[in-house]
Structure 1
């Protein structure tokens, strides 16, 4: 497949690199039509009228620009989906420029007022404002593009991406009572006493005496679930060295926590869950990554920011500097949906430096904490949302990744019903997409 254009820019090359994962045919950019071999698929990405059979997309200026400035965006409906950057040609918008705008998170480089946690607010996002946050719109666009090219040029374009289900877990607080030390347990005991939570008083004592299982200890149950459904999830451990209002994790020096992490390293891919302050302080990030590196005995390559607290380009540059190559933070910590409007891994493009980086982003679209704390969903509401998002991704053969926390699937009464809903979803998704044996 050939893409004919007048200008090869880093931005255009980035989008072509992204769509290459969609097609079995290689996509080659050319600036001279005589470089095209006979009987090849030609995409004419220009306003020039070519004397050959081709599929034409008139370009928007975005991919030939440099720098960052506010873009005039007017969304419209086409073929039952939202689009923007209207141009001429065989489809009514520049799919390359629109994909770049969303993938690069262009809007997050523009001025905005951060939310209460210092994050980019989802209310600012085009996807939220135009009501396509719950759609993997980029995947849908390229499915539409493929259909239109095949129809006009009477060709077959073989797709190569397959639907993938990837559950992930954030271990913020490994245990509710165990391994917290005398002072923290005494403080918790006094708090429960003052609030009249007498059943929790006896439960804490029973757990500490080894008579009951800790409410947050869902690890064995999850292991069985993964084995049953042949899943290889990612786990991310919070290893902050100082407790704050946002970090209440077990001390990373605790021997039982080290044993827990080591057990997971044998079974699954494990990454770091950089703490709240790490997004602003590279020294903090380095210490936490080095702590996990020492436990693992090998370099740490994967991460996800605690509270989904990151800013572009700063946090991503720090992660790269620290050797991270796979990041799982691309989503919102305030609402479920597709932050980059895509359900496929993609490399981060540093818009200020105008280059594709080595940091591969794995977007998620559902997090239990969003459903519970932000959207005030019941467990059944959350189940319906998971199924809807899953089906939307499956329809375009994308990546469905979600975040759960161990406390949601344990026995803490605050999360009654969530473990059962998670198990129901796991059983349901197997019926939709049976594992290959």
Structure 2
């Protein structure tokens, strides 16, 4: 057990120390504000303050974890080893920066609460982040910092023991459209065929007719192929389905149709299944609850995971909704348009709501890339970058998560490239 002395125990301090020390390094911790208790303690101890009390392990603090609400934060990046850090402190500290304040800044998404320029979909873009601007977006800096802190602890306390974590990977398949042609109804099928003719996409016209005559499987119904991939390589894949009402934004088939429900149940027999909320659910609690119940009634199990694949994440309101609905896991923490670590970490973490200064019982699972960016990238260069990030995540025994769409594995997409990526992240041949 590591005893931590600080003049005041704030929710931010408890949250960040628990994540770094306990969640990542596996060290049990205890806090005290009593100098006498700290001095009398004969085991491992660390002080976190403006100055050391004696010759104990000391990490100097900046003000961020003592504050409430938001304030203007000056970020001054400096090199540290082969990487970067910010919130520098004096040489008296065991680390050249306040690792806990810097980690909190990234994990809480502090910068997303501050004024920023949104993209054309109202989202916080990667280009507005400190990580992008300073060149460390593709580095899991929070985990790297934690492992360097681990070395400091080992040097000071040779008797210390850490829990061993395991590197793992996970692909998430986002299913906004189960079918391309099937079960769309007469008017939608007629309108779709008319649009294909106007665009001179005659092969799609032929495919549509064959699918409607049941001479061919729908191009987006690739679930059997992905289940076969799961069975062959014995790897876990998560599938997320959308069950929202039809609108200009959400154009899936009716969630109540038996073919749709059958596919969800079929996939649920072999993989973990979650929900993609519809466009209106991100800002309307009642709609989100309705969509949650739809998936639960289909699978007859509680909903445990959701993902936002393209709309504004709307921090922290959306996460508050998930907490109120007792949904324990979210997979939305990433940039749809950029490769990298939105929260500076590759590992799951509990979300801290700065508005209420509380830790939500919601585990956020960050993803590293969304397949949207593959079609705009040089594929060879992209796979090289993925290889480098995989190596970085392995070094910190982290979790590599990637988002794909079912369309990515259809005949209308670069499905060979996507299967190559899938094999690369699972390291199968």
What TM-score does the superposition give when structure 1 sets the normalisation length?
A: 0.92
Structure 1 partner of 2:8: 7
Give 5+ residue unaligned stretches, structure 1. 432-437
How far apart, in 2, do the equivalents of 1:177 and 1:384 lie? 36
Structure 2 partner of 1:72: 74
Q: What RMSD in Å do the two structures reach over aligned CA positions?
A: 1.9
Q: Are 1:212 and 2:216 an aligned pair?
A: yes
Superposed, 1:4-83 pairs within 5 Å as 4-19=5-20, 20-36=22-38, 39-52=42-55, 54-83=56-85
CA contact (8 A) 2:169 2:425 kept: no
How far apart, in 1, do the equivalents of 2:402 and 2:33 lie? 41
- Any idea what SS the aligned residue of 1:340 has? coil
Q: Are 1:273 and 2:276 an aligned pair?
A: yes
Structure 2 partner of 1:346: 349
Structure-2 change in CA distance of 1:423 and 1:97 (3 Å): closer
CA-CA distance at 1:416 after TM superposition: 4.9
CA contact (8 A) 1:308 1:331 kept: no
Structure 2 partner of 1:173: 177
CA contact (8 A) 2:45 2:57 kept: yes
CA contact (8 A) 1:275 1:306 kept: no
How far apart, in 2, do the equivalents of 1:252 and 1:178 lie? 14
How far apart, in 2, do the equivalents of 1:366 and 1:222 lie? 19
CA-CA distance at 1:33 after TM superposition: 4.5
Q: Deviations over 1:396-437 (max 9, x none)?
A: 10111111111101211x43533442354256x147xxxxxx
Structure 2 partner of 1:435: none
CA contact (8 A) 1:21 1:160 kept: no
How far apart, in 2, do the equivalents of 1:122 and 1:193 lie? 38
Superposed, 1:38-437 pairs within 5 Å as 39-52=42-55, 54-88=56-90, 89-244=93-248, 246-372=249-375, 376-412=376-412, 414-425=413-424, 429-430=427-428
Structure-2 change in CA distance of 1:281 and 1:423 (3 Å): closer
Q: Deviations over 1:66-116 (max 9, x none)?
A: 111120111110112111111121211000111111111111111223211
CA contact (8 A) 2:227 2:267 kept: no
Query: 208-217 or 352-361, which moves further after superposition?
Result: 208-217
- Any idea what SS the aligned residue of 2:252 has? coil
CA-CA distance at 1:229 after TM superposition: 2.3
CA-CA distance at 1:39 after TM superposition: 4.9
Matched length: 424
How far apart, in 1, do the equivalents of 2:149 and 2:12 lie? 19
Structure-2 change in CA distance of 1:153 and 1:166 (3 Å): same
How far apart, in 2, do the equivalents of 1:153 and 1:416 lie? 51
Query: 309-318 or 415-424, which moves further after superposition?
Result: 415-424
- Any idea what SS the aligned residue of 1:56 has? strand
Structure-2 change in CA distance of 1:384 and 1:181 (3 Å): farther
How far apart, in 1, do the equivalents of 2:355 and 2:296 lie? 31
CA contact (8 A) 1:240 1:274 kept: yes
Give 5+ residue unaligned stretches, structure 2. none
- Any idea what SS the aligned residue of 1:90 has? coil
- Any idea what SS the aligned residue of 2:15 has? helix
Structure 2 partner of 1:434: none
- Any idea what SS the aligned residue of 2:310 has? helix
- Any idea what SS the aligned residue of 2:43 has? coil
What TM-score does the superposition give when structure 2 sets the normalisation length?
A: 0.93
CA contact (8 A) 2:25 2:150 kept: no
CA-CA distance at 1:166 after TM superposition: 1.6
Query: 96-105 or 193-202, which moves further after superposition?
Result: 193-202
- Any idea what SS the aligned residue of 2:60 has? coil
Query: 95-104 or 177-186, which moves further after superposition?
Result: 177-186
- Any idea what SS the aligned residue of 1:43 has? strand
- Any idea what SS the aligned residue of 1:45 has? strand
How far apart, in 2, do the equivalents of 1:296 and 1:353 lie? 34
